[in-house]
């Protein structure tokens, strides 16, 4: 089933890339593409991708851009593969240059068989626009610090982030990088 999912995503990407190539060739100038990216408000849906171990490599990403704010929710479409589910809520504050700062929350749910442990993480990060893939598909890059503030549930004792010694927090602070590729429409 994992292989099937991979093929579906790959086909999605291949179609997107083909569309992007056509659209880029037809675009009258780079300026026109940039202009669509900076529309004041829009909705968007796409993929949140990463190669590090912070969450599943492919998740579904959607939200709204309201002026300088981009509000994003990320749903874990691969949770069924191993019982781990990462759900993100992020707010990006975008600057004129295409760079953005980000604050967010990640709820990680780890299956322990008959129950699950939750890990609540504060996300802090930066992001930046990548060149548009087409008139309606854009991409961005981001880097995050994920701090596990509390682990709870699953019938296990609750653990909170502590800075009493390096041994207390070494596992609980982690960096990650991601790429978002999304279809968008302005309003």
Partner 1 sequence: MRPSKNSAMSTTAERICKLLALGMLWSSVVMTGCASESQPALICHNSNCVEPPDPHADDTLDALTASLALELDGRPAVDGIETDIFWSGESKRCIFAHDLETGADGPDAIEAANTIGKWLEGRGTKPATRAAGTFTVFIELKGHVGLSKADKHTPEQRASHASCALDMVARLAAASEASGVPLAVRFTSFDPDLLQALVDEPRWTKKTAKGEVSVALGVILGIPPPLDGQSKPLSAFSADLPIDFALCHPHWLRDGNRVAIRSRGWRLAWWMFSAVAETYDAIDRYEPAYVVTSEGETLARWLAARAQ
Residue 84 binds to partner 1 (criterion: CB under 8 A)? yes
Other CB atoms within a 10 A radius of the CB of residue 74 amount to 23
Task: Return the residues of window 137-166 that contact partner 1 according to CB under 8 A.
Answer: 139, 148, 151, 154, 156-159, 164-166
Tell me if 71 contacts partner 1 by CB under 8 A. Answer: no
Residue 51 touching partner 1 (CB under 8 A): yes
Under a CB-based contact definition with an 8 Å cutoff, are residues 62 and 185 in contact?
Answer: no
Residue 95 interacting with partner 1 (CB under 8 A) = no
Q: How many other C-beta atoms lie within 10 A of the C-beta of residue 11?
A: 10
Under the binding rule (CB under 8 A), the answer on residue 26 touching partner 1 is no
Q: Is 154 left (phi over 0), alpha (psi -120 to 50) or beta?
A: left
Q: Does 170 bind partner 1 (CB under 8 A)?
A: yes
Question: How far is Cα 94 from Cα 185, in angstroms, rounded to an integer?
Answer: 18
Minimum CB–partner distance for residue 66 and partner 1 (Å): 25
- Angle, vertex CA 12, rays to CA 69 and CA 37, nearest 5: 30
Residue pair 151/184 in contact by the 8 Å Cβ criterion: no
Residue of the chain from 36, 117, 118, 120 that contacts partner 1 (CB under 8 A): 117
Interface with partner 1 includes 32 (CB under 8 A)?
no
Q: How far is CA 127 from the centre of its chain?
A: 11
User: Binding residues for partner 1, per CB under 8 A?
Assistant: 2-3, 5-6, 9-10, 13, 17, 20, 24, 29-30, 47, 49-55, 57-58, 78, 81-84, 86, 108, 110-113, 117, 119, 130-133, 139, 148, 151, 154, 156-159, 164-168, 170-172, 174, 179, 181
């Amino acid at each position: 089933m994992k292989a099937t999912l991979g093929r579906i995503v790959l086909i999605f990407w291949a179609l997107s890339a083909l569309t992007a190539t056509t659209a880029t060739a037809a675009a009258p100038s780079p300026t026109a593409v940039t202009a669509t990216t900076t529309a004041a408000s829009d909705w968007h849906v796409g993929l949140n991708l990463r190669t590090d171990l912070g969450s599943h490599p492919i998740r579904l990403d959607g939200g709204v851009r309201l002026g300088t704010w981009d509000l994003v929710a990320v749903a874990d479409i691969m949770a069924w593969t191993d019982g781990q589910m990462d759900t993100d809520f992020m707010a990006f504050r975008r600057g004129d240059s295409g760079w953005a700062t980000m604050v967010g929350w990640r709820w990680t749910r780890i299956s322990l068989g008959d129950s699950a442990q939750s890990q609540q993480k504060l996300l802090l990060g930066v992001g930046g626009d990548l060149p548009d893939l087409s008139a309606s598909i854009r991409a961005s890059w981001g880097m995050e610090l994920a701090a596990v503030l509390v682990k709870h549930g699953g019938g296990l004792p609750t653990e909170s982030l502590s800075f009493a010694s390096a041994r207390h927090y070494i596992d609980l602070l982690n960096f990650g990088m991601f790429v978002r590729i999304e279809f968008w429409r302005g309003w």
